[in-house]
Amino acid sequence: MEFLSAIIAGISLGSIYALIALGYTMVYGIAKMLNFAHGDVIMVGAFMMFIALTKMGLHPILCIIFGTVICTILGVVIEKLAYKPLRKATSLAVLITAIGVSYFLQNSAQLIFGAGSKTFTSLFGSGNISLFDGQIIISHNTIVTICVSVIIMIGLTLFINKTKTGRAMLAVSEDKGAAQLMGINVNKTISITFAIGSALAAIAGALLCSSYPILSPTTGAMPGIKAFTAAVLGGIGSIPGAMIGGILLGVIENISKVYISTQLSDAIVFGILIIILLVKPTGILGKKMNEKV
Amino acid sequence: MALLEVKNLGIVFGGLHAVEGFNLTLEKGSLYGLIGPNGAGKTTIFNLLTGVYKPTSGTFTLDGVKLAGKNPVEISKAGIARTFQNIRLFKNLSVLDNVKLGLHNQMKYSTAEGILRLPRFFSTEKKMNEKAMELLKVFDLENEATTLADNLPYGKQRKLEIARALATNPKLLLLDEPAAGMNPSETQELMDTIRFVRDEFDMTILLIEHDMKLVSGICEEVTVLNFGQELAQGKTSDVLNNPEVIKAYLGD
């Protein structure tokens, strides 16, 4: 029963990683860049929701919508100001810019909200459900996290595969030039991708801070890096890969916390990243790189 | 008025005149060939006409609308579509989705309607499916609609690329070496397909080709390019017998 609890908690944590990893993987697939500022968008979203809840006294649902809208706009603005001028630059320049944006967001948050951490009140209530005569206790947060993530992942999959905009995203990720000649606006498609990725990050922020209620300007950094690991584990660029990679990583992290050591759990997670990069650099569902001879 | 009028078109890459002083007038419904040795600038002309490159001199108009300097999206909307020398299908998408991407700009519903799955999303998607299936039928690809484009045999990939280009509802279709890598019987079938497209869709076609059998078989007129400049222009049979042209291809 302890094992089952650990798995459920792991799936819950993993769903959050998956939501964040989706943003990484979609942006990578379409703009061919690693947006290392993605993790900090989570933090901005969580702060917005925190303010909406404590200062403006909004209903939790409205708080989430407020934070999500702000992050969506933030994602599009970051892309326009920081990344779009570098569309033709080397990938290293874009990578360094992304790290710069990450520091900018963290330090701006520190300036505005202070460096100390705040206690985030769960947006989903604090109750528990006990099963099997109390042998398994599942919090409301866990249930909401898993349900919301599953709904979002199904919705996103339908959106990508069944709608015009989704198809355009797939086309741009495969061949920008050919997509343009079909009359597809590449810049607009990239903007939409950043908007969706950032909205998912905001929702992930709400779920994350409701389960782990400490909010500080660096809150987004660690989950961001772990979600990146998840995206690589699943195969960066692959949307189902990010989902599988995220959940798998959450379960592994939680099981190592329960059965091995809390201190070592992060080392195990990043150890996995190293092993994947050595054994199967393209990840679980990643495409083979065809090398021309 | 001619459908396509190209005047004195040229592009310079760091001192190299890749194309210089290119002129061309295409009447509606014509089937025109662009030939020349490797590196003569043929594909560069296609890239200029589709907005991939911006011309450094000259201009061109389609149906009287000036398109020189416009970007590929604007030019696609204005009515020029193309295929590629090395096939550039969306390999990981289905055959049907490839054609539907060609329909992207003709059938509209907003992203929000797509997310919320409002009625217009379903009706438009249904229309797109029907239109795309019609096109696939024309090219005998309707049974492969759900196959990944990458898994189609080579000849069918070429056909799918033409179908996808036609889906953008062009006035002018540019075919870049459509017969590359095809065996003689496939080439024969392709010639029939190209003629059929011209007649059935009332299309104007400009094609680049090295296979002289195809060129002399279907093109009414040709231009020969050499080192970025026009070497000869006129009726196909005359041009192919021109000693200058033979020299450019075979050397002295």
The CATH code of the domain that includes A262 is 1.10.3470
Instruction: Give DSSP secondary structure letters for A186-248.
Output: HHHHHHHHHHHHHHHHHHHHHHHHHHS-EE-TTTTHHHHHHHHHHHHHH-TT-HHHHHHHHHH
Q: Which pLDDT score, from 0 to 100, does residue A292 have?
A: 47
Residue A291 lies in a domain: no
Decide if B93 and A167 are in contact by the 8 Å CB cutoff.
yes
Range of the domain at A137: 2-279
Q: Cβ distance A218 to A42 under 8 Å?
A: no
By C-alpha distance, which of B101, B100, B158, B108 is closest to B134?
B100
- For the record, the structure tokens of A229 come out as 């690991």
Q: Which helix (H) or strand (E) holds B138?
A: helix B119-138
Distance (Å, whole) CA B166 – CA B201: 9
pLDDT at B206 over 50: yes
Residue type, A231: A
**Bridge partners, B11 (sequence order):** B19
Interface of B to A at Cβ within 8 Å reads: 50, 52, 71-73, 76-77, 81-82, 84, 88-93, 97, 100-102, 104-105, 107, 109, 111, 114-115, 121, 124-125, 128, 164, 168
**Domains located in chain B, CATH noted:** 4-79+170-250 (3.40.50.300), 94-163 (no CATH)
Distance (Å, whole) CA A142 – CA A207: 9
Residue A35 lies in a domain: yes
For residues A29-39, average pLDDT? 90
Q: pLDDT > 90: what percent of chain A? A: 58
Strands B221-226 and B229-235 turn out to be antiparallel
By C-alpha distance, which of A115, A100, A93 is closest to A43?
A115
Using a CB-CB distance cutoff of 8 angstroms, which residues of chain A are in contact with residue B104?
164, 167-168, 182-184
Q: Quickly state the pLDDT bin for A60 (edges 50, 70, 90).
A: confident
Residue A107 lies in a domain: yes
Say what the pTM is: 0.87
Mean pLDDT across chain A, nearest whole number? 89
Q: Cβ distance A172 to A30 under 8 Å?
A: yes
Q: Which pLDDT score, from 0 to 100, does residue B251 have?
A: 67
Q: Which pLDDT score, from 0 to 100, does residue B183 have?
A: 87
For residues A165-189, average pLDDT? 92
Q: How many domains does chain A have?
A: 1
pLDDT at A126 over 80: no
Helix count (H) and strand count (E) of chain B? Answer: 10, 10
Residue B21, C-beta contacts closer than 8 angstroms, at least 6 positions apart: B8, B9, B10, B58, B229, B230
Residue A287 lies in a domain: no
Residue A292 lies in a domain: no
For residues A151-172, average pLDDT? 92
Look up residue A280 and give its DSSP letter. -
- How far is the alpha carbon of A166 from chain B, nearest alpha carbon, in Å? 9
For residues A58-79, average pLDDT? 93
Q: Which pLDDT score, from 0 to 100, does residue B119 have?
A: 83
Decide if A159 and B115 are in contact by the 8 Å CB cutoff.
yes
For residues A61-89, average pLDDT? 93
